[in-house]
Every structure is written in C-alpha cells, then in structure tokens.
C-alpha cells in the first residue's frame, strides 16, 4: 500500500493549527515587546513549514526557540540582538549537521533520556496552557490582562480564561477523534468568534489588505557587542535544549508516529534544516526557529499525519504576512489566550504519554529525574543531568 505523503482535508487542516499555542504567544511577545517585524516572523515561519514539508514529506513542526524567546521577552532585548542570535544559532547548527557530529552525539543519548525530555516538555506545555487559562503567563502579566484582546476579564472575580478554557477543554474531549468536526478547527473558530463578539473595539479597524514583503535586515546589522552578548545569554543556553528536544526527541517521535515514512527525519537533516531556517530568519527579520517534539505531538494529536498540514499552515502564514503585513498581529489577537492554552494542554499530554513504553524502574527513574530538574531549573539542565544519571544507572550494583 502506497504511503500518502500529502493530504489536504479537514483533519490535516485541524492538525496544522495544533501548535499555535506554542508559536503565537512567543511571536506576539517578540512583536509587541521586542519590536520584531510581524511580516518577517510569519513569512519566515511559513517558508520553514512549507520547505520542511516538501523535503521531509511528513508532518514537521516549526516552533520558536523557547530559551531565546522566553529570555528575550522577559528582558526586553532589542530586535537586532534577537536577529544576532538567529545567525549564531544557524552557524552552530550548520557545523553540527554539516560535519554530522550531531549523529554521533545522538547515538550517545539513551532512550530514557529521550523519554525524559519528552515527558518534561509535555509537562511544561501543559503547565503553560493552564497559565494561559488563568492569565498568569509572562505575556499576560506584561499586558496586565487575563485576555489582552477581550473587553471582559473576569466573571464574579474568576478570570474569564478559566470559563473559556474549561468549556473549550470539554468540547475538545468530545471532538478529539471526530473526523467530521475536528477539534482543532472547531476550537480555533470558536475562539475567533469569541474574539469578534467580545474583543476590544477597534482591534480590526486598521486592517486593510494590501501587498507586503519582508525587508532585508529590517532591524539593521547587529553590532559586535550584540553578537558577543547573545552568544552568552541566548545561544549557549539554547543549544542543549535544541539537541535534546528539537533534534533527538523530535526525530525519535517522528519515527514512532510515521515509521518508514519519516526516513528523511534524521538527526543530521533536522539540524541542517533548522540551520538554514535561522539564516533566512536573520536576513528577513524572523525569530530563531526549530523543530520540536512538543510541536509534532500537537500537530499529530489534532489530526495531522502528512506533509499536507505543513503546506496548509505554511501557506496561511505566508499569505497572511503578504496580505496583512504589520496588521497580522491584530488579527491573531482575536484568538483568546485560553484557547491557545487548550491546544497546549492536549499537546503536552500527548507528548508526556510517550513515557508509557518505559517498563524498567531505572529507566523510569531517569526520566523522572529529568522532569524534576527541569521543573526546578530548565530543560537544558535536566537533559544534561539525565545523560549522566542514565550512564551511572547502567552499573549493575546500583538499584532503584
């Protein structure tokens, strides 16, 4: 039976929307707080989705690099500094992929560590989804609003996001495996309708369709000081997480979901793919991007099983950037944060459940150690500690 590489149907469309909960908040934060160009961000993300789909021929996630995004937004870094990090990350990934050193590194990482990274990423996604519903995410706190784009913030003292999130989660449970009314489409549509009905007046007033293309180095050429600063502040902390989650855990999950169809999703190809995407992002004002196990779990759980989903969401991003330009951010704010939170919760649970194939106590302990350290510190620290623990536990004299 021939494998279907590209399908364009409602399930692929629903699955293509599954990872918006990760991408949109960081993208919006970089636009509103760091001064990044909306056209460059969504144009480059759209290109990355489309070219990844055509090359790998399976569903491929595109995500912001979370260490870079979180730190840049929290500290208000300049757009040129974020661009500098994209260039440096592109260089590092090109070296790792071009020399195939990443394949050697990947072979050294035991399965319990991969599962620990997936479990930890899943739990982090679920926790962030809950924050979106309660209005306690960094972006919402900076905006000083539970739902920044809605005119209603609470009902009886309870954040409006909790009501929207609870109702949306129940609906998602009913529709999660429904092929006639896919959960991803229904939830996003209802979110958009909610934004139209209860959104702040004037949100769409300035939206006039026209023609826009990203500029060349729209934030200017970063200075030497910018490159030096982001190397220490963003790039070095990001690399361990990228190797653990966006390369090793992602490639492993792709094989688990798509079997032989994902034969092109290798450590080396994934690394080079991300490298090229970050070079493009540097030149047209996009944000640092990667693949990721969490993103794949999100797309897959909401129905994406072919590269058609990449073409769909990539085309939406590209056309939105070209047609709406700077005002694309106004359109995207129609979807309440709590709706994005629902996507994160279900995507995170899908990813965390990959731990179920660990049947040995030592393996489970290693995965849980990674989770604990990740919650207490960060995923990069958990990943590196997990590798050490996994090798130490290979000693037969040690018992758990």
Per-residue confidence (pLDDT) for residue 202, from 0 to 100: 62
pTM of this structure: 0.89
- Distance in angstroms (rounded) separating the CA atoms of residues 397 and 388: 16
Q: Which of 378, 362, 100, 114 is nearest to 254 (CA)?
A: 114
Per-residue confidence (pLDDT) for residue 8, from 0 to 100: 95
Per-residue confidence (pLDDT) for residue 197, from 0 to 100: 87
The answer to whether 254 touches 270, Cβ cutoff 8 Å, is no
Per-residue confidence (pLDDT) for residue 76, from 0 to 100: 85
Per-residue confidence (pLDDT) for residue 2, from 0 to 100: 62
N-to-C CA span, the chain: 45
Per-residue confidence (pLDDT) for residue 206, from 0 to 100: 65
Q: What is the mean pLDDT of each run of 10 residues along the chain (400 residues)?
A: 82 93 86 90 97 97 89 86 96 96 91 92 90 89 87 91 94 90 92 86 70 93 94 88 91 94 96 97 96 92 95 96 88 87 90 90 95 90 92 88
- Distance in angstroms (rounded) separating the CA atoms of residues 194 and 352: 30
State the DSSP string of 380-398: HHHHHHHHHHHHHTTSTT-
């Amino acid at each position: 039976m021939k494998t279907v590489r590209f399908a364009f149907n409602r399930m692929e469309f629903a699955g293509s929307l599954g990872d918006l909960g990760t991408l949109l908040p960081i993208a919006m934060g970089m636009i509103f707080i760091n001064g990044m160009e909306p056209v460059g961000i969504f144009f480059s993300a759209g290109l990355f989705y489309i070219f990844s789909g055509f090359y790998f021929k399976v569903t491929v996630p595109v995500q912001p690099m979370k260490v870079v995004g979180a730190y840049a937004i929290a500290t208000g870094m300049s757009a040129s500094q974020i661009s500098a990090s994209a260039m440096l990350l592109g260089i590092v990934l090109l070296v790792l992929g071009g020399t195939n050193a990443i394949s050697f590194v990947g072979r050294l990482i035991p399965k319990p560590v991969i599962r620990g990274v997936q479990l930890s990423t899943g739990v982090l996604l679920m926790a962030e989804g809950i924050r979106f519903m309660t209005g306690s995410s960094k972006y919402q706190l900076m905006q000083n609003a539970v739902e920044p784009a809605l005119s209603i913030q609470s009902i009886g003292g309870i954040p409006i996001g909790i009501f929207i999130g609870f109702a949306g989660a129940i609906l998602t449970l009913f529709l999660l495996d429904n092929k006639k009314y896919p959960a991803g489409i229904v939830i996003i549509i209802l979110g958009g309708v909610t934004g139209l009905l209860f959104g702040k007046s004037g949100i769409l007033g300035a939206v006039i369709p026209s023609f826009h293309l990203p500029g060349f180095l729209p934030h200017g050429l970063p200075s030497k000081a910018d490159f030096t600063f982001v190397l220490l502040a963003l790039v070095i902390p990001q690399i361990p997480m990228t190797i653990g989650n966006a390369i090793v855990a992602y490639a492993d999950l792709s094989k688990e979901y798509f079997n032989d169809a994902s034969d092109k999703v290798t450590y080396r190809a994934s690394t080079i793919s991300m490298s090229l995407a970050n070079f493009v992002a540097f030149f047209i004002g996009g944000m640092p991007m990667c693949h990721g196990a969490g993103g794949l779990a999100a797309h897959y759980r909401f129905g994406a099983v072919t590269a058609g989903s990449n073409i769909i969401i990539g085309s939406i991003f590209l056309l939105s950037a070209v047609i709406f330009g700077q005002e694309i951010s106004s359109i995207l704010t129609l979807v309440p944060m709590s709706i994005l939170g629902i996507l994160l919760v279900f995507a995170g649970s899908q990813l965390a459940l990959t731990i179920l194939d660990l049947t040995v106590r030592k393996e489970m302990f290693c995965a849980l150690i990674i989770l604990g350290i990740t919650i207490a510190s960060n995923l990069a620290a958990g990943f590196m500690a997990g590798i050490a623990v996994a090798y130490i536990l290979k000693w037969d004299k040690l018992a758990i």
